[in-house]
C-alpha cells in the first residue's frame, strides 16, 4: 500500500527529530580533540575519555530507557533524554578544564533515546511502512553526519567549542518542539518483551555478528577522530579549507559507495560487502601508519576510509531489521544501538590509553589487528537469504 499523507508527515517529523539530535552529536566530532588538548589538565588518555565517555552512558541506558518508555510512554522519555542531553551540553559549554568537559559528555550520553525513538516509529506506523521509514531515517542520519563535518570547522572557528555546545542546546530545544507539536502521540505503546523473547534476541548468533560489527565500526570511527582532526588542522589550518576537504570527501565517497551498495543489494552480496569492507579498512589503516605526512596522502586515506565506513553504516542496521521477527525487531535494534555506543566508548578510551604510552603508529597497527579479528569473526555470518530481500 502507498504511504498516506499522515504517515509521510510522521516519517518527516521523526526524521527531523533524529537529524537534529544527531547533528548535536556529530558537530563535536571533527573539532573536539583539537580543543580538548588545549584545556587545562589535558592528556591523551583524558582526550580519549572525553571522546568515548558519551558512548558509555549511552550504552548503559539504551535498554533501560526503552523499558521505561514501555511503562510511561515514548514521548515523555524522549523529552527527558533530550533535556539530559541539553544539560550535558550546558555543563560542557561552561567547563574550564578537561574534567568538566568529560562530565558534560557523560551527562550528554545519559539521554539514551535512540531505541525509544525507534519504538515510537513502530508505534505510529504500520508494519509494512516501517522498513521504508527506517531507510529514510537512516538517510537523514547519514546526511546529518556529512553536514556536521562541513559545518563544524567554520562554526568552531567563529564561536569556539563552547559556542558549539550552546548551539547543541538550541538544537535540542527545537527537537523537543518538534516532538511535542508535530509528532503524534501513539494511541498505545507496545508492552515490554516477555523474558522468553529477550532470550531470543540475546541467543541469536547472527544478530551478535552484526552487533560485533557495529561495535568495531564505531570503535574505529572514534579512534580516527581522536587523531585525524589535529593532523588535518596542522596541514590545512583555515576553516574553509577543512570544510571544502570534508565536502569533497563526502561527495566522492558517496559517488563510489552507492554503486557498490546497489550492486550488493541486487545480487545478494551483502556478506561479501561486509567482509571486503573489513579487509579494506585494514589496508587503509596500514596506509595511515606508513603514509608521508602530507595533505594529499591524508585526504586520500580519508576518502579510502569513508567508502567502507558509509557502506557498512548503511548495510548493518538494514540487515538487523531483515533477519529478526517483527515482534522482537525493536529489542534487536536497541541491543544494536547499545553495541554501537559501547564501541564509541572503547574506541575513545582504548586509543587514549595507547596514545598515552605509545605512538600513533602503534595505535594504527593495533587497529589493523582488530580488523583481522573482526574479519575472522565474520566468517560465520550467514548470507542474507533471498527471500528476505525487501
Count Cβ atoms below 10 Å from residue 360 Cβ, excluding itself.
16
Query: Could you tell me the end-to-end alpha-carbon distance of the chain, in angstroms, rounded to an integer?
Result: 14
Taking a C-beta distance cutoff of 8 angstroms, is the pair 39, 97 a contact?
Answer: yes
Query: 43: closest CA among 382, 371, 357?
Result: 357
Assigned CATH for 5-385: 1.20.1250.20
Query: 90: closest CA among 80, 81, 100?
Result: 100
The Cβ-side half-sphere exposure at 341, using a 13 Å CA radius, reads: 27
pTM of the model: 0.88
Burial 224-254 (b: 16+ CB within 10 A, else e): bbbbbbbebbebbeebeebbebbeebbeebb
Burial 151-181 (b: 16+ CB within 10 A, else e): bbbebbeeeebeebbbbbbebbebbbebbee
The Cβ-side half-sphere exposure at 223, using a 13 Å CA radius, reads: 29
Q: Which three cell numbers mark 193?
A: 518483551
How far is it, in rounded angstroms, from Cα 116 to Cα 102?
Answer: 25
Taking a C-beta distance cutoff of 8 angstroms, is the pair 380, 371 a contact?
Answer: no
For every one of its 390 residues, what pLDDT tens digit does the chain have, with 9 covering 90 and above? Answer: 566 677 788 888 888 888 888 888 888 989 999 999 999 999 999 999 999 999 999 999 988 888 888 788 889 999 999 999 999 999 999 999 999 999 999 999 999 888 888 778 878 877 767 667 777 777 777 788 888 989 999 999 999 999 999 999 999 999 999 999 888 887 766 665 666 667 777 878 889 999 999 999 999 999 999 999 999 999 988 888 999 999 999 999 989 988 998 888 888 888 999 999 999 999 999 999 998 989 999 999 999 999 999 889 888 887 887 787 766 776 787 888 899 999 999 999 999 999 989 999 999 999 999 999 999 999 988 887 765 444
Taking a C-beta distance cutoff of 8 angstroms, is the pair 206, 106 a contact?
Answer: no
Sequence ranges of the domains in the chain: 5-385
Amino acid at each position: 500500500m502507498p504511504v498516506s499523507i499522515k504517515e509521510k508527515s510522521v516519517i518527516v517529523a521523526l526524521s527531523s527529530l533524529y537529524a537534529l539530535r544527531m547533528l548535536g552529536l556529530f558537530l563535536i566530532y571533527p573539532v573536539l580533540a583539537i580543543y580538548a588538548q588545549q584545556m587545562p589538565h589535558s592528556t591523551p588518555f583524558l582526550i580519549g575519555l572525553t571522546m568515548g565517555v558519551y558512548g558509555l552512558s549511552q550504552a548503559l541506558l539504551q535498554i533501560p530507557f526503552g523499558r521505561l518508555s514501555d511503562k510511561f510512554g515514548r514521548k515523555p522519555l524522549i523529552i527527558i533524554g533530550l533535556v539530559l542531553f541539553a544539560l550535558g551540553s550546558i555543563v560542557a559549554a561552561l567547563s574550564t578544564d578537561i574534567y568538566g568537559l568529560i562530565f558534560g559528555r557523560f551527562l550528554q550520553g545519559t539521554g539514551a533515546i535512540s531505541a525509544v525513538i525507534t519504538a515510537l516509529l513502530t508505534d505510529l506506523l504500520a508494519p509494512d511502512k516501517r522498513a521504508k521509514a527506517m531507510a529514510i531515517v537512516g538517510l537523514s542520519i547519514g546526511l546529518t553526519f556529512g553536514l556536521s563535518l562541513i559545518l563544524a570547522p567554520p562554526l568552531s572557528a567563529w564561536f569556539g567549542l563552547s559556542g558549539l555546545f550552546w548551539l547543541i542546546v538550541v538544537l535540542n530545544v527545537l527537537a523537543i518542539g518538534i516532538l511535542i507539536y508535530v509528532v503524534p502521540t501513539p494511541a498505545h505503546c507496545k508492552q515490554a518483551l516477555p523474558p522468553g523473547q529477550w532470550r531470543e534476541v540475546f541467543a541469536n548468533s547472527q544478530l551478535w555478528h552484526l552487533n560485533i560489527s557495529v561495535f568495531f565500526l564505531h570503535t574505529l570511527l572514534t579512534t580516527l577522530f581522536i587523531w585525524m582532526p589535529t593532523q588535518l588542522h596542522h596541514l590545512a589550518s583555515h576553516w574553509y579549507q577543512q570544510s571544502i576537504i570534508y565536502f569533497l570527501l563526502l561527495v566522492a565517497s558517496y559517488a563510489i559507495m552507492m554503486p557498490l551498495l546497489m550492486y550488493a543489494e541486487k545480487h545478494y552480496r551483502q556478506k561479501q560487502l561486509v567482509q571486503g569492507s573489513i579487509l579494506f579498512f585494514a589496508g587503509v589503516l596500514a596506509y595511515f601508519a606508513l603514509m608521508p605526512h602530507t595533505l594529499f596522502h591524508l585526504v586520500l586515506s580519508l576518502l579510502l576510509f569513508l567508502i567502507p565506513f558509509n557502506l557498512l553504516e548503511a548495510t548493518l542496521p538494514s540487515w538487523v531489521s531483515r533477519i529478526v521477527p517483527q515482534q522482537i525487531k525493536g529489542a534487536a535494534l536497541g541491543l544494536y544501538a547499545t553495541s554501537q555506543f559501547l564501541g564509541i566508548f572503547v574506541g575513545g578510551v582504548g586509543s587514549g590509553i595507547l596514545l598515552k604510552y605509545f605512538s600513533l603508529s602503534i595505535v594504527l597497527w593495533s587497529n589493523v589487528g582488530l580488523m583481522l579479528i573482526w574479519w575472522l569473526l565474520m566468517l560465520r555470518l550467514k548470507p542474507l537469504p533471498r527471500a528476505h530481500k525487501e
